[in-house]
Chain A
Amino acid sequence: MKYVDEYRDGELAQGLAAAIAKEARPDRRYHFMEFCGGHTHAISRYGVTDLLPANVRMIHGPGCPVCVLPIGRVDQAIRLALKHNVILCTYGDCLRVPASDGLSLLKAKARGADIRMVYSSADALKLAQENPEQQVVFFAIGFETTTPPTAVAIKQAKAMGLKNFSVLCCHVLTPSAISNILESPEVRKLGTVPLDGFIGPAHVSTIIGSRPYEFFAEEYRKPVVIAGFEPLDVMQAIRMLVRQVNEGRAEVENEFSRAVSREGNLKAQNLVAEVFELRRAFEWRGLHTVPYSALRIRGGFAEFDAEQRFGEDYVSVPDHKACECGAILRGVKRPQDCKLFGTVCTPENPVGSCMVSSEGACAAHYTYGRFRELPA
């Protein structure tokens, strides 16, 4: 696969590993947060940790839209399916997220809800066209990468005059999440969670560009390197971060230059601005309520807002008391620090969403990395 395989080359990896080991100063530690769940997955799946020197550590961030989806939002989707008998279309990632009353979308399906897994918002639109007597609701989750596809679907629905299509909008914004982490007490207080820099998300950045990160670099004096999706990209980004730290710089660098520009994809940005507007506040799992961090459907397209059409409001539901997803999402604790990890909470029986999504820090660690924790 072109533009994929070359970026996974094992020989180049050895070279990069040596380069990082050489540039990392032996007298200090480096802690970098990879914000994006896709990077977490890449690091685990390829075993990148084994190629890093011991004093360079990665902290897994909250960039997994499934992980930050609060229970209450899944409950909303389930209510729409069970109470209002809609055809509820969802990406595969959400099917197993645990919600209230021991339910998940998958379990609701077993109870008779019409839940359909789709690959694309376009599929949900097609279902609405093919089933004119039924209401179809699209459960729209995701960061800025996944938002434009929802915008396109809503616009197309309007152009077609579809009466039976609506969207439960749970799209969230990356910069807000980063701010939230940087503002959290543990990070601000020196020494609690040493964060020396960020690996910026790959595909979110193709849409929003590298510009939004300049604020963080300046304000918080932390370097940001936007990295491509492949393991060599991640390693190169780590190398660039180490270099910035050593040189005392705090800039935004773009390793993913083959797909990311400073301005991003303006066409996509404009489409999103046309259909969505900022919510004043939105609850994130683990990060609690974050202002101006999520989107809702604009007045002009209100007829496609499922929350309004069905009158189903968001009801906040607290997480399991012992669940440490919140702390883990903020990089304050590690999966193995959670009492439930690996015992009560496993991929088969997830308590928190960090365990449901394979991008979640807990699932990634459990599935790929827990052999490192056990005594030999």
Chain B
Amino acid sequence: MKQNYIRPLDLKRGRVDMSHGSGGRAMAQLIDELFAPLLGNDYLAQGNDGSVMPLPDGPGRLVMATDAHVVSPLFFPGGDIGCLSVHGTINDVAVMGAKPLYLSASFILEEGFALADLKRIVESMAAAAREAGVPVVTGDTKVVEQGKGDGVFISTTGVGWLPAGIELSGNRAAAGDAILVSGPIGDHGMAIMSQRESLAFESPIVSDTAALHGLVADLLASGVQVKVLRDPTRGGLGTTLNEIARQSGVGMMLQEARIPVQPAVAAACEFLGLDPLYCACEGRLIAIVAGADKDKALAALQAHPQGTGAAIVGSVHEDPHHFVQMTTGFGGKRIVDWLTGEQLPRIC
């Protein structure tokens, strides 16, 4: 099956060019010498346009989730666009209560992109997929002209299996429920910020990007009545809670003193005038559970290596306005509103 190429890809100094996306020999070589060996699994080895996979036995339903990743910079403290794209989609499937099974990955490469960087990214994806036990079974590559892409964009889609009896949805939060987070917020957002040209600061902040399906499985197995699971990515905890409040038609009350934030993240936010509540997380979970189960839920999260920093941060109540309110550490109250566009550093 393997073709013989006149010259192997120069993975040290080579660059992506238009021929790598044109479906011909150059593209086949890119797949044979870069993608396939790194991501390698039986499904990809089939070499067809689509991959055939079995479904688990027993009653259940399919879950599918998709995400495009356009993060810049491509490499940041704690991760890169490769592992981020794997973790992100696995998490989207996992928060539905489903076991993530398979991933697809679609690459849009910019002409001129360094093959060495592409190799690094794909290696990172492969490692993330292997660690999570979720293979990339099919993929696609396109190349766009220089100037029309930001190096690389990656889109991943994941499918998972939702066993019968599990029902998680953003509209299931109800008065009396408890709100938990699985760890400190804002790490990813500030890790990215610290790399931005003209905002650069040195910090120990590292992205929290991680696949959370193991943590989710433990929580669901603990017997806790879980209503909603969601990962607070863009827009952070604040925006995600507002989404859920609106979907469920409820209000929420948070306790600022209970929301975990790493000191370096808090400090970086102070410099730039940002609010950690709206900084993205890529390895954290929001769990809304029946009030009576809150301590059990906390214990289940904390018992898992990805949930050691978990905390109960608030509760759900009736509210026709669907406000997410917060008692500040200072003693007063404020609302935690929807974020307006991206948070921008300010001087004022």
Contact = CB atoms under 8 A, between A and B. Distances in A.
Sort A-B residue pairs by CB-CB distance and give the 5 closest, nearest first: A47-B332, A92-B344, A50-B332, A347-B340, A46-B330
B345 interface: yes
B328 A45 contact: yes
Majority SS of interface residues in chain B?
A: loop
Interface of A: 1, 4, 8, 10, 13-14, 17, 37-38, 44-51, 64-66, 91-93, 95-96, 116-120, 123, 127, 142, 146, 231, 346-348, 357-359, 366-371, 374
Given A46-B334, A367-B337, A369-B334, A123 B348 contact: no
A211 B206 CA distance: 46
B50 interface: no
Interface string B323-336: 10101111111110
15 contacts: A1-B266, A8-B329, A10-B330, A17-B331, A46-B334, A47-B330, A47-B332, A50-B332, A93-B344, A96-B344, A117-B198, A119-B199, A119-B272, A348-B340, A369-B334
B330 A231 contact: yes
A369 B323 CA distance: 11
A46 B321 CA distance: 21
A8 B272 CA distance: 19
Nearest to A8: B330
Given A13-B330, A47-B330, A231-B330, A96 B198 contact: no
B59 to A, nearest CB: 44
A292 to B, nearest CB: 23
B295 interface: no
A205 to B, nearest CB: 16
Contacts of A358: 346, 348
Given A13-B330, A50-B333, 8 more contacts: A1-B267, A8-B329, A10-B329, A13-B331, A46-B332, A91-B346, A116-B198, A118-B198
B330 A96 contact: no
A51 B332 CA distance: 6
Interface string B262-303: 010011001010000000000000000000000000000000
Contacts of A117: 198, 344-345
Nearest to A231: B330
A314 B167 CA distance: 61
A145 to B, nearest CB: 9
A156 to B, nearest CB: 17
A8 B333 CA distance: 14
Given A117-B198, A119-B198, A367-B337, A64 B348 contact: yes
Given A92-B344, A118-B198, A146-B347, A48 B332 contact: yes
A92 B346 contact: yes
A17 B331 CA distance: 10
Given A92-B345, A366-B337, A371-B335, A48 B266 contact: no
Contacts of A346: 340
Contacts of B332: 13, 46-51
Given A46-B334, A347-B340, A369-B335, A1 B270 contact: yes
B162 to A, nearest CB: 35
B52 to A, nearest CB: 44
A368 B334 contact: yes
Interface string B182-218: 0000000000000000110000000000000000000
B348 A368 contact: no
B245 to A, nearest CB: 12
Contact of B321 (A17, A44, A45, A374): A374
B23 interface: no
B333, B345, B348 pick with most chain A CB within 10 angstroms:
B348
B335 A348 contact: no
B270, B327, B333, B334 pick with most chain A CB within 10 angstroms:
B334
A102 B266 CA distance: 36
Nearest to A65: B348
A13 B331 CA distance: 7
Contacts of B198: 116-120, 123, 127
Interface in B304-348: 321, 323, 325, 327-335, 337, 340-341, 344-348
A17 B332 CA distance: 11
Contact of A368 (B199, B257, B337): B337
B333 A47 contact: yes
